[in-house]
């Protein structure tokens, strides 16, 4: 996926699907518009992950097609119109399973690395 990890000048491709999991997690807190998601991921990861719109918007589109998020136009805090994304029940379930899988993967990988 074209999500880049910008760490110490190094760019590493993210594992496929990771971005979607991060978006789901972000949206699990509250409905957000696109820039909000970028900002939240950047803030929480202390600036390590910076998601550009070229990756974010296709990912959101895929999630919406997959029925994991839905969108609606709402007014922002500055009284402008923006497309807000909401997590669906389906998305909530998907987040749980993906998170579970991810943690097991991490555990396995670190076991191998530490062996």
Partner 1 sequence: MHWIASLIVGLKSLFQKQRVERELDEELESYVEASVAHKQSAGITAEVAHRAAMIELGSRNAVKHQVWSSRWESTLDGILQDIRISLRMLTKGPAFTIIALLSLALGIGGNTAIFTLIDQVMLRNLPVQNPEQLVTFGPENGGGEAGGIDMGSYGLFPWYFARQLQADPGPFQGIASFCSFSDKVSVRLPSTGGAADSGTPAILAPANLVSGNYFSVLGAQPFMGRAIAPTDDDTPGSGAVIVLSHHFWQQALSSDPAILGKVISINGSPFDVIGVMPENFHGIRQEMEPPDLWAPMTMQTVILRQPSMLTPSGGLYFLDVFGRLNRYAATNKQALAQSQNWLDQQVRTGIRTEEGAKVTPARLQEISRVTVPLVDAARGASSLRDQYGDSLKILMGVVALVLLIACANLANFLLARAATRKREFATRLALGSSRARIVRQSLIETLLLSFTGGVLGLGIAFAATRVLIGFVSQGNAYIAMDPTPDTTVMLFTLGLSLLTGVLFGLAPALAAARTGAAGNLSDSSRTAQSSGGKSARLWPKMLVTVQVMLSLLLLVGAGLFLRTLRNLQNQDYGFERSHLLLAEFNAKLAGYKPSQTPGLHQRLMERLSVLPGVRSVALSASPPISAGNWSSSVTIPGYTPAPRESMHSILNRVSGQYFETVGISILAGRAFNNADAANSQKVAVVNQTLASHFFPKGDAVGRSILIDINSVKGPWQIVGIARDTRSGDPRNTDPVRMTYIPIAQIDPFLPVDSSTPAATGVVAKPAVPEENQDRFAGMILVRTTGDPAHSIADLRASVTSVDPNLPLLRITTIHDQVSHFMTHDELISSLTGMFSLLALLLASIGLYGVMSYNVVRRTNEIGIRIALGAQTPAVQWMILSESLLLLAAGVGLGLPLTLLATKYLKDQLFGLSPLDPMTFAVALFTVSAMTLLAAWLPARRATKVDPMVALRCD
Q: How far is the CB of 65 from partner 1 (least distance, A)?
A: 6
Nearer to partner 1, 47 or 58 (CB): 58
Nearer to partner 1, 76 or 101 (CB): 76
Q: Among all chains, which residue has been given the structure tokens 């696109």?
A: 34
Identify which of 66, 71, 93 has the alpha carbon closest to the alpha carbon of residue 82: 71
**67 contributes a contact to partner 1 by CB under 8 A:** yes
Rounded distance between C-alpha atoms, residue 19 and residue 55, angstroms: 9
List helix spans (H) across the chain: 18-29, 34-44, 53-65, 89-114
Nearer to partner 1, 46 or 114 (CB): 46
Candidate list 52, 97, 103, 105; residue touching partner 1; CB under 8 A: 52
Rounded distance between C-alpha atoms, residue 110 and residue 113, angstroms: 5
Integer CA distances (angstroms), 15 to 3, 34, 36, in order: 9, 21, 23
Candidate list 8, 9, 10, 65; residue touching partner 1; CB under 8 A: 65
Candidate list 72, 80, 89, 111; residue touching partner 1; CB under 8 A: 80
Question: Which residues sit at the interface with partner 1, rule CB under 8 A?
Answer: 33-36, 39, 52-55, 57-59, 61-62, 65-67, 76, 78, 80-83
């Amino acid at each position: 996926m074209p999500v880049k990890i910008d760490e110490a000048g190094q760019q590493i491709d993210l594992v496929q699907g990771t971005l979607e999991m991060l978006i789901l997690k972000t949206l699990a807190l509250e409905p957000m518009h696109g820039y909000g998601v970028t900002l939240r991921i950047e803030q929480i990861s202390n600036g390590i992950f910076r998601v550009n719109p070229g990756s974010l918007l296709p990912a959101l589109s895929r999630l919406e097609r997959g029925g994991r998020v839905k969108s609606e136009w709402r007014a922002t805090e500055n009284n402008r119109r923006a497309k807000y994304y909401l997590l669906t029940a389906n998305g909530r379930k998907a987040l749980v399973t993906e998170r579970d899988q991810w943690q097991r993967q991490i555990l396995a990988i670190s076991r191998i690395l530490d062996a």
